[in-house]
């Protein structure tokens, strides 16, 4: 019990940390806006933690318009609704952990929902890890290189992946939280209906600024709240401050039928409010240009008419009324294609975004050879299916579709868009594979069964107009998922989650006894989760790994560099980021690398240096201390590297942003593009510390600490004899592996020794140079098989050391 609670607490802490980090990285560049939004999220979190129903109402009130401010202020397309959703969800989770109350949901629905969440998090985590080339878990270098044929960088792909994980989790997590709160807040269906009407009232009010914004976009400024979406601006499609025009259109499609059901039954001020919301919402749908929303309204209208017809037919009270309804339904069905064709061909349709899109759609059907009824969506669907076929169990990974589609476009004659699969089911299938889709099927089947069971139990007489409207829009949106990945829009996810939670709460018994999952079943579920995680990891580290993708699509290796620039027309150079790397070819016999490097930043000095770590094929070469902004040449010895292609990587300890750059760059240091190799190493040493003294053996010995590899120019005496003294940096226990050192002179092996485990005992080896080396400089190199960690004298800082090296040139 204590272990399980500890797991819950640490998982919650990890979730809080993930939210804070994500919110920071995705926040727009405005301190005031970020501070205000963060304060709202903190208030929502605390309120939900203390009183979940109050936090839920705050979230409901803010949801429709929370994305509007950042777009209206033109400071960036901040995904405010996503982070607001998780501020509420985390507050609800905190309340559950502290109060130790169970989630009020049947296991046959809760289990698939939790697995949807698990698969999404696991798949997204593996996807982000593979894009980062396993940094920082298994790699010390972040290779911010291309991850697709379009030149998308790893950092961009990771950022998109994180956002995709959050988008995927909005619906299932908000559905569970909303259902639990609804179940705990009402005792019967009458109270639930009243509570749901409050939601409709609040959203009708909170949509007013969205509607005003949409009208302003259409009448005065199409660019307002649209940021850089040029295509939507040119078509005069409105978004009302939501994520995009389709998000607004689909949110209104889901909401308007419910509002109309209340507008018919209510009287007084509420009826006026509902009527205004209904009429203005229908008009705004035409301004969004969303064809899915129009199709949804038509389908819902048809469903409602059919329900009324069936009810009249079963009542046997009015045959005349039944015939009239039959005529209305028949006329409505017949008029749909006639009405659509007529308005599409009308010259006046060009002024309305939706009618304009219908006109272009009709023209496409008339003149295009493809005759695509689904407006060329089948091309995108084929790509999604191809992705799934390549990775049937796991899919391409959550958030990877828009990144990998450019690679798949290389194999097709027609390039497809890069946003999503244009089909929610295929999007799930391509990104999460069979694992993800099976849990969605499990969830939908149990959800539908619960609703049907509730209808059979209570009878159709209990179905009020709002309940019928909710059932109609939720059924229709499942059909509309065929034409778009609509749950990618957080506004749609929130609305679908709240409506689904209400519908399930309406048809399930509030007093139901939630049975514990048996230990055997728990074990099975844990094994399934572990297997899913392992298979996802196998794909991410294998066929989908960073290196595999680069080889398969022949992507350039270079990473972490900005575009090439010219230094006063003298030579070319390029800026690095924190990490950078490129492929180089080491000429035969030339093992000294010449680099021209500059910090350029004016305040670089001895007191404020820039430190650079250089590696070759992942092996440490040297650390450079840049203490001047000017250009300097640096020699780097490459040790045992032979003539071949090699991976040269850099790590800079700090970056800076130049003023007045949009977008701002994170600059490390400047590197001249012309990299030269030579066979002469003129530096005194490489990979060695300053000189230190040791008299523990009764004799003063001046020595230097090495890394795993070190090089040192020594003056070989005329007599040719020199001694190399080595010792372990630390006392090794009897069970610890001793340190092994290889000694070379001018690339010729001198000896390979094992050091004593006592760090006070020096090992001495005497060598005699051949006649050709005497009286000349020789390059002594040391290679150590492992690091030892020691504490710096008079400091708490710890450093890694290879061995302690002393040279004695006396006979």
As a whole number of angstroms, the distance between CA 295 and CA 285 comes to 11
Task: Name the residue among 257, 249, 253, 252 with its Cα closest to residue 288.
Answer: 249
788, 798 contact by CB (below 8 A):
no
For residue 798, the cross-strand partners are: 791
Name beta bridge partners: 304: none
User: What was the pLDDT predicted at 242?
Assistant: 92
Beta-carbon contacts of residue 157 (< 8 Å; ≥ 6 apart): 131, 147, 148, 399, 400, 403
> Which pairs count as long-range contacts for 749-754, CB under 8 Å and 24+ apart, including other chains?
750/724, 753/726
| Integer Cα distance of 538 and 392 in angstroms | 13
Q: How far apart are CA 514 and CA 175, in angstroms?
A: 18
760: three-class secondary structure by DSSP: coil
| pLDDT at 331 (0 to 100) | 64
* Structure-token pair, residue 795: 């400091």
Return the pLDDT at 112.
95
- Site of tokens 């005194």: 684
Please report the DSSP string for 683-701 in residue order.
SSEEEE---EEE-TTSS-E
419, two tokens: 């946003």
Helix (H, G, I), strand (E, B) or coil at 232: helix
* Residue whose entry in the numeric block shows the structure tokens 């970020």: 34
Q: What is the CA radius of gyration of the chain?
A: 34
Which residues neighbour 409 within 8 Å (Cβ) at sequence distance 6 or greater? 149, 383, 415, 416
**Helix 291-315 vs helix 269-288: angle between axes, to the nearest 10 degrees?**
130
CA distance 271 to 206: 16
Q: What is the DSSP string of 275-329?
A: HHHHHHHHHHHHHHT-HHHHHHHHHHHHHHHHHHHHHHHHH-S-HHHHHHHHHHH
Domains and CATH numbers, the chain: 1-101 (no CATH), 559-678 (2.60.120.260), 685-808 (2.60.120)
Tell me the whole-structure pTM to 2 decimals: 0.82
For residue 620, what are the contacts with CB-CB under 8 A and spacing of at least 6? Answer: 613, 614, 687, 707, 708, 709
CB 270 within 8 A of CB 259: no
- So what's the pLDDT on residue 517? 77
Residue among 421, 424, 419 at smallest CA distance from 440: 424
Dihedral pair phi/psi, residue 748, rounded to 5°: -105, 130
The answer to whether the CB of 686 falls within 8 A of the CB of 637 is yes
CB distance 584 to 616 below 8 Å? no
> Cα–Cα distance between 721 and 179 in angstroms, integer?
84
pLDDT for 701 equals 92
pLDDT recorded at residue 232: 75
> Which of 741, 750, 739 minimizes the C-alpha distance to 714?
750
pLDDT value at residue 415: 60
Q: Tally helices (H) and strands (E) across the chain.
A: 22, 20
Residue 194 CB neighbours (<10 A): 10
CB count within 10 Å of CB 451 equals 18
Per-residue b or e along 501-535, where b marks 16 or more CB atoms closer than 10 Å to that residue's CB: bbbbbbbbeeeeeeeeeeeeeeeeeeeeeeebbeb
- 394 burial via Cβ count (<10 Å: 0-12, 13-18, 19+): buried
Residue 11: closest CA among 133, 107, 97, 102: 97
Using CB atoms within 10 Å of the CB of residue 774, give its burial: 0 to 12 exposed, 13 to 18 middle, 19+ buried. Answer: middle
Q: What is the pLDDT of residue 35?
A: 94
Selection from 757, 725, 721, 761 nearest residue 743 by Cα: 725
Q: Which positions of the chain have pLDDT values less than 50? A: 373
pLDDT score at 672: 95
């Amino acid at each position: 019990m204590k272990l399980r609670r500890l797991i819950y607490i640490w998982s919650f802490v990890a979730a809080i940390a993930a939210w804070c980090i994500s919110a920071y990285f995705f926040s727009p560049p405005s301190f005031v806006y970020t501070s205000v939004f963060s304060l709202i999220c903190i208030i929502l979190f605390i309120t939900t933690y203390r009183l979940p129903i109050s936090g839920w109402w705050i979230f409901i009130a803010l949801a429709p318009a929370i994305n509007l401010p950042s777009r209206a202020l033109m400071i960036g397309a901040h995904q405010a609704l996503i982070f607001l959703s998780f501020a509420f969800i985390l507050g609800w989770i905190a309340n559950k952990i502290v109060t130790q109350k169970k989630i009020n949901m049947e296991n046959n629905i809760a289990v698939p929902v939790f697995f949807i969440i698990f698969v999404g998090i696991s798949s997204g985590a593996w996807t982000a890890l593979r894009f980062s080339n396993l940094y920082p878990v298994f790699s010390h270098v972040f290779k911010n290189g291309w991850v697709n044929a379009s030149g998308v960088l790893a950092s961009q792909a990771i950022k998109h992946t994180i956002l995709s994980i959050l988008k995927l989790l909005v619906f299932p997590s908000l559905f569970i939280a909303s259902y639990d709160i609804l179940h705990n807040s009402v005792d019967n269906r009458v109270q639930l209906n009243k509570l749901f009407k409050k939601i409709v009232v609040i959203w009708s009010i909170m949509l007013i600024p969205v509607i005003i914004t949409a009208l302003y976009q259409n009448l005065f400024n199409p660019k307002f709240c649209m940021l850089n979406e040029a295509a939507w601006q040119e078509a005069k499609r409105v978004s009302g401050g939501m994520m995009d025009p389709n998000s607004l259109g689909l949110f209104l499609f889901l909401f308007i039928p419910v509002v109309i059901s209340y507008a018919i039954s209510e009287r007084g001020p509420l009826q006026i409010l509902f009527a205004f919301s209904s009429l203005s919402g229908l008009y705004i749908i035409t301004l969004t240009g969303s064809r899915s929303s129009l199709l949804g309204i038509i389908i819902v209208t048809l469903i409602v008419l059919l329900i009324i017809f069936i009810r009249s037919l079963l009542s046997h009270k009015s045959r005349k009324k039944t015939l009239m309804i039959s005529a209305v339904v028949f006329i409505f069905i017949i008029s749909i294609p006639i009405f659509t064709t007529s308005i599409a061909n009308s010259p006046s349709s060009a002024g309305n975004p939706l009618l304009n899109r219908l006109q272009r759609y009709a023209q496409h059907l008339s003149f295009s050879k493809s005759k695509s009824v689904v407006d060329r969506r089948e091309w995108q669907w084929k790509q999604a299916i191809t992705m799934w076929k390549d990775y049937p169990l796991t899919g391409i990974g959550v958030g990877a579709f828009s990144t990998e589609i450019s690679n798949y476009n290389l194999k097709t004659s027609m390039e497809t868009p890069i946003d999503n699969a244009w089909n929610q089911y295929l999007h799930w299938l391509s990104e999460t594979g069979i694992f993800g889709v099976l849990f969605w099927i499990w969830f939908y089947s149990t959800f539908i069964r619960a609703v049907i069971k509730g209808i059979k139990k209570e009878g159709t007489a209990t179905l009020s107009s709002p309940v019928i409207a909710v059932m109609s829009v939720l059924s229709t949106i499942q059909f509309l998922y065929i034409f778009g990945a609509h749950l990618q829009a957080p506004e749609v996810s929130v609305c679908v989650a709240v409506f689904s939670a209400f519908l399930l709460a309406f048809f399930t018994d509030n007093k139901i006894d939630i049975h514990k999952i048996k230990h055997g079943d728990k074990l099975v579920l844990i094994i399934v989760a572990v297997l899913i995680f392992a298979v996802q990891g196998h794909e991410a580290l294998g066929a989908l790994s960073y290196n595999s993708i680069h080889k398969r699509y022949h992507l350039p290796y270079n990473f972490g560099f900005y575009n090439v620039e010219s230094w006063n027309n003298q030579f070319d150079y390029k800026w690095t980021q924190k990490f950078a790397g490129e492929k180089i070819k080491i000429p035969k016999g030339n093992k000294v690398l010449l680099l021209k490097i500059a910090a350029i930043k004016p305040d670089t000095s001895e007191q404020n240096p820039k430190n650079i770590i250089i590696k070759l094929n992942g092996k440490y070469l040297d650390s450079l201390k840049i203490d001047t902004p000017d250009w300097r040449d640096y020699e780097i010895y490459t040790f045992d590297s032979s003539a071949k292609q090699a991976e040269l990587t850099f790590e800079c300890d700090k970056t800076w942003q130049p003023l007045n750059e949009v977008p701002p760059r994170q600059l490390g240091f400047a590197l001249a593009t012309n990299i030269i190799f030579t066979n002469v190493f003129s530096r005194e040493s490489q990979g060695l510390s300053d000189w230190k003294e040791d008299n523990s053996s009764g004799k003063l010995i001046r020595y230097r600490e090495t890394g795993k590899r070190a090089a040192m120019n020594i003056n070989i005496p005329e007599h040719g004899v020199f001694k190399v003294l080595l010792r372990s940096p630390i006392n090794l226990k009897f069970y610890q592996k001793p340190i092994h050192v290889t000694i070379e002179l001018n690339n010729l092996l001198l000896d390979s020794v094992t050091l004593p485990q006592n760090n006070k005992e020096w090992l001495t080896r005497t060598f005699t140079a051949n006649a050709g080396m005497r009286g000349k400089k020789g390059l002594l190199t040391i290679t150590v098989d492992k690091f030892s960690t020691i504490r710096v004298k008079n400091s708490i800082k710890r450093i890694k050391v290879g061995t302690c090296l002393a040279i004695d040139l006396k006979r």
